[in-house]
Structures are given as structure tokens and as C-alpha cells.
Chain A
Amino acid sequence: MRLKAENVSFAYPGNKGDADRFIFKNVNLELDSGKILAILGPNGSGKTTFLRCLMGMLKLTSGTCQIDGRPTSAMSTKEFWEKVSYVPQQRMATSSFTVFENVLLGRSGQIAFFGTPRKEDKEAAEKILEELGIIKFRDRRCNSLSGGEFQMVLIAKALVSDPELLILDEPESGLDFRNQLIVLNTMDKLKEKGISCIFNTHYPKHALQKADYSLILGGETPVFGETGTVVNEKNIEEVFGVRAVINEMQVDGETIKNIIPLYVTGKK
């Protein structure tokens, strides 16, 4: 799978003669199979809007998105969602379905409109719960799970349809130290299977840790490139208005990047 966005812009139409209010302008990006892309930016920088545009929930003002060379606007909903899965921003776990029932809902693209889940659908759901290590919650009600546990259920639900691209909206926000790591490490496992991931985050550290590429929104112009190059002290200060230092550490022969915020510069 190869995802490509060319000169993508989105604006809310202005009221009565006002200029259109652009949320982002001229975003360009490319993503291959098994790569992770982080979309980085402060609150209100249009991260979620960008994802919704990418998925066709909002109509682009200009530009095109392509999957394997085909414009997504020309793909049928069914065709598109066979390749792509979406994990929305996690809210309170209000669903009173059981975990298994909830994950099974992710197979709806494979099940006929007037049909019910077949044996293979149930097996796929069992398998993904096993893989993500949450099979022990199989028969628990979702509204009795913690935030971190429910986030993993949502990821399982997205993965059960065997997507080529997984889109996650702030998958790690609101989770504790350990659960953030569990969610982020799940993306590494997907990478090995050749699944691409796009995730939104307001933590530059998570982009540095996990993402091959980063798209930074919220500055003068959107910046896209390899994470190691574009997530730098200058860009962080421009977008977040925070002076931060990025340092490197050697752990078990691996180089790990970390970022420490120092103070608010007010420049933004």
C-alpha cells in the first residue's frame, strides 16, 4: 500500500464575504507499507480535521489523496474501508457491549448487509484479541474496562478487518505511563506485519520514539519529512511555542531520542 497526499488543503467557508478560514494548506505526504507517520501539533492545529479529510468524512477544499495511485475520492466507501481502519479519539467507555461483541463490529465490512457473523468472523475476533493480549477481557462489558484497556479494544476492533492502513486519533492521550507504552508498542507489531499507521499526537516525544515520518501542523506551513529531521528544536519552538532540548541516549546499543521542554517562549 502506498498513500500519497498532494497539496491538500481544507477551509471552512467564511461567513458573508469573509475570507475562507483555512485549517491547513498545501499538505504533501507519502507513506509506504509498514511505516508509521505521526501527525504532530498543539490543540486546535487541525490534526483531527486532517485525518477526517484523509478518510473522506470532510471534503477537501483542494488537493488529492491517493491510495496505490488511485484517488480516494473515486473509491467506493466499501472499497476504501476495506483497506483502511480508524480508531477514533477515545472517550469514556460507555458501550455496554461485551469486548467480543464490540470487536466483532469491526468485521461489518466482511459481513453481508442482511447477514450475521460467520464462524470465520468470530475466529478472526478471537485471534486479534489473543494477539493484542486482551483475550482475558473477552466477555467483560466495555463499560467496566479502564481507559487503557478500552483503547486496546478499539484497536482490536479496527484491526479485525485486516486493514492495510490504520489511522489512530490520539491513541495514547489520557492514558497512564504504562498504557501509553502498550498502545505505542502495538504499532511496532503492526509495522512488522506490513501495516502502515498514522497517529495524531500532541507529544513530540512519542513521534520521536515511534514514527518513521512526521507531519507537523500548526506552523506557518505544514512540515513533512523523516522524524529525525523535522522534529527538531526549531520546529517545536515554532509550533508549540516551547523552548525544548532534544538529546540522544545509548541504551543497549540503540540510540534513543528524548525531548525535554524548558520554558514557554510566548512566540507562537
Chain B
Amino acid sequence: MKKRTVVILILLPIITALICICAGRMGIGPADVFKTFFGSKEISGNVRITVMNIRLPRILLGLLCGAGLSLAGCCFQGFFSNPLATPDTMGVAGGASFGAALGLLLGFDMIGVQILSFCMGLTAVFFTKAAASGREHGPAVLVISGIMVGALFSALVSLVKFLADSESQLPAITYWLMGSLGGTGYKKLALGAPIIIIGIIIIFLLRWRINLLALSEDELIASGTNVKLLRSLVVICATAMTASVISMCGQVGWVGLIVPHMCRLIWGQDNAKLIPASISIGASFMVVVDTLARSISAAEIPVSILTAIVGAPFFISLLNSKRRVIGL
């Protein structure tokens, strides 16, 4: 990558975040935002609370979720050598959703819901791995067992909804499942963010080596790489990041598919470029979409609706024009 590109990729999420922190139903000028950051006494309490306690944690969450999801998508696409893989291919989203729904049904507080959701996400992937083990096989078996485990958990989510009290619990579950970055506090962040940050660091360090996963099994052995270690690290990091994101803000779809492919159009297939680009673009994309979600109308729009509305047409046009570039 050229130096200029690197600088742009580093600055892009920072500038996006600064612009988005000013945007919202209560307009706050950039000057006021900076003053708040530096603890100036001229700023009113309202502005201070809005910036520091509402918008800042939400934007930090947006940055992390966007980076985590697009990176996880990138990893799974590399892992399965399949451009259609998403962070959810191994059933993690189904598991995490079930965990959250169950937590809400049992009346846990938000932190309890988050922890249960994260654990169930990991459990789902563990099931998928276990269901696909036993014989020597290609990734296709893993994909199929991922679909099966996903189906199983989505049935369990339906079951929880069916059992839930339709006045209070059902709306809460439904709203949670649609995904939202709202109501973020530092407590929520402190629990989920470290997992995403560690995942990002490990995958970033492996950014070139992940390319090897595109090779056939024999070629992979012949590369002399510790294949088992590489595969395990990639799956564990991608899964943990996805589970952590979903446990914090529900099912935010499409980011893991759109962003990596958008980056492929510009930087090609080389993960050494793709991974840093996905982190930067994913983080910025998520913050922008979430800012739209909270500012377009008086009531907040669930963010998944926006990512799909932006994502589906984009992806269809991508399929038709650049099939070869993204490897379809």
C-alpha cells in the first residue's frame, strides 16, 4: 500500500467520527465538541452530557462494531475461500440472538443479556465445529453444519418469542433482534470492546498469511505453515468479534458482506491490503449509517434496516459488474 493510502485509511474513521459526533437532532458545532473534549468550562451541562455520555460511547461502539463485523466477514470469506461467506456463516449470529432473547425472557439486566448472548454465540460455533468434525473434509461440510446450527437456533429464538409476554418482553426481544447502537454506556463498551480490539490486532498481524487459506489443501501443507494454528486463530478471532458485536448491538446485518467486497473492488484480493482497508472502511461505514439511523427521523430507525437498504442494491450491482474481481 502506498503511504498516502495508509494515511487516508487511518484518518478516515477519525474524521468521520468527529463529523458524526456533531450531527444529530441537537446540532453541536465542532468547536463546542472540541471544547467539551478538553474540559472547557464554557460548555453547558446539556451539551457536555450529550457529547460525552451519549454520542461518544455510541460512536466508539459504531467504530468497533463496523471494524469487527467487516473484518470477521473478510476472515470468513478467506477461511472458506468463498466470497459469499459472512460473519454468520458458522451460526454465531443465531446463537447470540438466542442468548439475548433468552436473557430478555428471563428478565436479566442489559449486562446479563450481553454476557449470555456472547456465550451462546460461541456455543453455536462450537456446535458447528463439532457437527462437522470426525472425517477429513473440505469447508463445504462446515458451511452446511453452520446453516443447520443457525436454523436450529433461529427456531429456538422463535420459541422464546412464542413464550414471551406479548406486552413487554416480545417488543423488547423484537427490537433487540433488529439491532441498534442506542443506549450505549461505557459499561457495555468495557465488556465488549477488549474482545473486538484483541481480535482486530491478531487478525491485523495475520493479514498477509490469511492469503494462504485460498490455496488447496495440499498446497497449504506444502507452504510449510502451521495450518491448524492459522485456521484456529482466524476462526476464534472472527467468531469472538462477531459474538461480541452482536451481544452489544444486536443483529446488524450486511456490513460483513458489503464492506469487504467494496474494498476488494479497490484493493483486489490481497488480504494484506484488504484487512487494513476493511477495518477502516467498516468502522467509518457503520458510524455513518448509525448517524443516519438516529438523525433521519424523530424515532430511531433500526440500523439493520438501513444497512440492508444500502447494502442489497449495492451488492446486486456488484454481482453484475465486477464478478471476476471479487472471485465469483
A interface residues (Cβ-Cβ under 8 A, vs B): 52, 55, 57, 77-78, 80-82, 84-86, 88, 91, 94-98, 101, 105-106, 108-109, 111, 113-117, 141, 143-144, 158
Interface segment among B11-19, B52-60, B116-124, B200-208: the answer is: B200-208
Contact A77 B325 (CB under 8 A): no
The complex places the Cα of A57 from the Cα of B219 at a distance, in Å, of 11
Closest to A110 in B: B224
Interface segment among B146-154, B178-186, B234-242, B268-276: the answer is: B268-276
Query: Which residues does chain B contribute within 8 Å of A91, judged by CB atoms?
Result: 216
Among A52, A80, A96, A116, contact of B324 (Cβ-Cβ < 8 Å) = A96
Closest to A161 in B: B224
7 cross-chain pairs, A with B, having the tightest CB-CB distances, nearest first: A81-B224, A96-B327, A86-B222, A109-B224, A114-B205, A116-B208, A108-B223
Query: Which residues does chain B contribute within 8 Å of A97, judged by CB atoms?
Result: 211, 214, 268-270
Whether A114 touches B206, Cβ cut-off 8 Å, given contacts A97-B214, A108-B224, A109-B223, is yes
Contact A108 B214 (CB under 8 A): no
Interface residues on B, range: 20 to 34
Could you jot down 26 A-B contacts, CB within 8 Å?
A55-B222, A57-B218, A77-B226, A81-B222, A86-B218, A88-B219, A96-B327, A97-B268, A97-B269, A98-B269, A98-B270, A105-B211, A106-B223, A108-B209, A109-B223, A109-B224, A111-B208, A111-B209, A113-B226, A113-B229, A113-B230, A114-B209, A116-B208, A117-B272, A141-B324, A143-B327
Closest to A55 in B: B222
Closest to A117 in B: B208
The complex places the Cα of A108 from the Cα of B224 at a distance, in Å, of 7
Contact B224 A77 (CB under 8 A): yes
Judge whether B191 is part of the interface by a CB distance below 8 angstroms: no
Query: Which residues does chain A contribute within 8 Å of B225, judged by CB atoms?
Result: 108-109, 113
Judge whether B195 is part of the interface by a CB distance below 8 angstroms: no
Q: How many A-B residue pairs have CB under 8 A?
A: 82
Contact A96 B326 (CB under 8 A): yes
The complex places the Cα of A117 from the Cα of B272 at a distance, in Å, of 9
Given contacts A96-B326, A98-B269, 7 further A-B contacts (CB under 8 A): A55-B221, A77-B226, A81-B223, A95-B214, A111-B209, A144-B324, A158-B222
Judge whether B215 is part of the interface by a CB distance below 8 angstroms: yes
Of the listed residues A55, A101, A144, A158, the one surrounded by the most CB atoms of chain B closer than 10 A to its CB is A101
Judge whether B212 is part of the interface by a CB distance below 8 angstroms: yes
Q: How far is the CB of A128 from chain B (nearest CB, A)?
A: 16
The complex places the Cα of A148 from the Cα of B218 at a distance, in Å, of 21
The complex places the Cα of A78 from the Cα of B26 at a distance, in Å, of 60
Among A78, A88, A98, contact of B224 (Cβ-Cβ < 8 Å) = A78
Query: Which residues does chain B contribute within 8 Å of A78, judged by CB atoms?
Result: 224
Whether A105 touches B272, Cβ cut-off 8 Å, given contacts A85-B222, A114-B206, A143-B327, is no
Closest to B206 in A: A114
Query: Which residues does chain A contribute within 8 Å of B272, judged by CB atoms?
Result: 116-117
Closest to A167 in B: B222
Contact A96 B205 (CB under 8 A): no
Contact A88 B218 (CB under 8 A): yes
Query: Which residues does chain B contribute within 8 Å of A101, judged by CB atoms?
Result: 211, 268-270
Whether A105 touches B212, Cβ cut-off 8 Å, given contacts A55-B222, A80-B224, is yes
The complex places the Cα of A81 from the Cα of B226 at a distance, in Å, of 12
Closest to A142 in B: B269
Contact B221 A57 (CB under 8 A): yes
The complex places the Cα of A108 from the Cα of B272 at a distance, in Å, of 13
The complex places the Cα of A52 from the Cα of B219 at a distance, in Å, of 11
Q: How far is the CB of A58 from chain B (nearest CB, A)?
A: 11
The complex places the Cα of A114 from the Cα of B201 at a distance, in Å, of 11
Closest to A108 in B: B223
Whether A52 touches B218, Cβ cut-off 8 Å, given contacts A80-B224, A105-B212, A105-B223, is yes
